[in-house]
Structure 1
């Protein structure tokens, strides 16, 4: 699928597919998603753009500079989507090649280009806007992750206390579910970092294409974008460290709760083991058992059993093992 953005007398318009050949010189941006064989042939014939996968992240064929990058953006439903994109920079046109027909992180780019017509003066300026949008998309994903981590922090605190705000008892299954969610967030943040690293490389190659003398204003904007990409990357690293901290916290709480469970069973065993031993003695068939003929033999045996249970419990409590 191809979308063509046409600049006709400083007015931008979208055409589905390629325009008529006589309007090729008016095309400033081509968005290509999962092209068919026929569409790839037309792009090669009319614009000289190769859609075949490249073996390297950056390739220059004399007419175009191909820069492969990984991008992360929120789709229409607000779900993070990770995909590969190849930016193609030429003297007259910019193209975006993507094998995923559903990955469209630049749907609102036309609005930004229309708001500032100066951004359409050259392919480099258009590419700058597209890279800015890619960086903004990654920033939005990281901000969303940061909000979710704040909620995860509150959940971990509630699980540590044992009850949530509604009074529901929380335990080990809730911790396991929280850990699973944190693992998903860690993977997503790792994708954010990967996307920012590849985006920084693309911005660096764009900077090398800009002439510092004749395009000083554009170079200044590229330098600002370089700093913005680095800032978003640092934000991703910070959130990644936060996820690791929360994972360690959950692991520690899980270990404490499991130790508490083992402690309870240990105390129960320690309390009931002596009465069991007393009961075992009286279950033996000795020839002489004087307690059987005592008037209060039954009360004696019950008192002995109760004492055997209470004394270990008193000892455990004085040692502070119940805390």
Structure 2
């Protein structure tokens, strides 16, 4: 699918239907979302470029993600996607700056793009040029990552509070499992956000060398601000990762303490019942000559001895605080 926008009389105007080569050349932003082979050829022939394939977009080498060709500058970023889903995902998006046009190539619909299309339609964002559209789109992506990280931070704080409150009332196994899943999801979300920020930081640094930006010095302060925002988010991600690791250790520590308490109860029970077992074993031996066998009070004495051997260790352990 192709969605294109151009500036007409100071307003953003969407190009209806499938745009032709002339309409594409006049557009400030061309968004390709899972394009067909015909749509790819149309854009490539119009601008004289070769768009990367989906497999090429997934390559992790820096030279495969950031490069210049005769037709323009190619930049591929890994962007956080489906952050609200149980399992967050990432997707690769290629930005192409060619002349006064920004071309984006993607195979999913993350929230920043959905929201940016709405802003463009409502005239909240002016697409004066391809570079301006590119910087505004980067800003929208960073804003979305910031919102996701804020939500993850709040969830980790809530987990810490539940650990503190649950320590007094003892967390059951279901609660522990739920907290562990929340911590695991926060870690996964933070890791993917950090991966996204690394690629965006590289793109911002690469953009400073792009000729289209160098010709418009008024956009350089915006690029510098985006770089600072990306760096601050990366720092917050590092802090959040350490906080998640601490909460995971704390949760595993609580689980370990409760397991130790259970093992301690069984250990104490085994020690408490060891003396009566010994007494019963002695008088259960099949020797013919045992003095107590002929004693009228031998059986009650054995029972009393076994009861006393239970009570005395129990009181001793209770006094020492082991129970």
Q: Give the TM-score band, short-chain normalised.
A: 0.7 to 0.9
Match for residue 63 of structure 1?
71
Aligned to 1:182: 183
Q: 1:77 to 1:9 in 2, by over 3 A?
A: farther
Q: CA RMSD in A?
A: 2.5
The worse-fitting range, judged by mean Cα deviation, of 28-37 and 212-221 is: 212-221
Contact 1:65 1:90 in 2 (8 A): yes
TM-score by length of 2: 0.87
Q: Which residue of 2 aligns with 1:97?
A: 105
| Distance in 1 between residues matched to 2:229 and 2:309, nearest whole Å | 72
Give the 3-state SS of the residue equivalent to 1:239 in structure 2: helix
Gaps of 5+ in 1: 164-169
- Shift in CA distance, 154/93, structure 1 to aligned 2, threshold 3 Å: same
Deviation of the 1:175 alpha carbon = 2.5
Could you tell me how far apart the structure 2 residues matched to 1:303 and 1:80 are? Answer: 66
Within 2, Cα distance between the matches of 1:75 and 1:2? 25
C-alpha displacement of 1:62: 1.7
Distance 1:46 1:245 in 2: 54
Kept in 1: contact 2:201–2:231 (CA 8 A): yes
SS at match of 2:35: coil
Cα 1:309–1:78 change in 2 (3 A) is closer
- Alignment partner, residue 287 of structure 2: 286
Moved more, 51-60 or 272-281: 51-60
Whether 1:44 aligns to 2:44 is yes
The count of aligned residue pairs is 314
Deviations 1:198-239, CA, capped at 9 Å, x for gaps? 111111122223688863331111111111111111111111
| Secondary structure in structure 1 of the residue aligned to 2:149 | helix
Partners of 2:299 and 2:213 in 1: how far apart? Answer: 103
State which drifts further: 127-136 or 300-309: 300-309
Match of 2:80 in 1: 72
Quick check: 1:109 aligned with 2:124?
A: no
CA offsets, 1:242-274, max 9 Å, x none?
100001111211221111111110000000111
SS of the residue 2:192 aligns to: helix
Q: Partner of 2:207 in structure 1?
A: 206
Unaligned runs of 5+ in 2: none
Does residue 31 (structure 1) correspond to residue 39 (structure 2)? The answer is no
Indicate which of 138, 146, 151 corresponds to 1:144: 151
TM-score by length of 1: 0.87
CA distance in 2, matches of 1:78, 1:281: 62
Distance 2:214 2:113 in 1: 30
- 1:153 matched to 2:154? The reply is no
Structure 1 pair 60–30 and aligned structure 2 pair: CA distance change class (3 A): same
| Offset of residue 15 of structure 1 | 3.8
Query: For residues 271-313 of structure 1, what are the alpha-carbon distances to aligned partners after superposition, in whole Å with 9 as ceiling and x for unaligned?
Result: 0111111111222222234434444333312210011112222
Between 291-300 and 63-72, report the one with greater CA deviation: 291-300
Mapped to 1, the partners of 2:92 and 2:261 lie a distance apart of 48
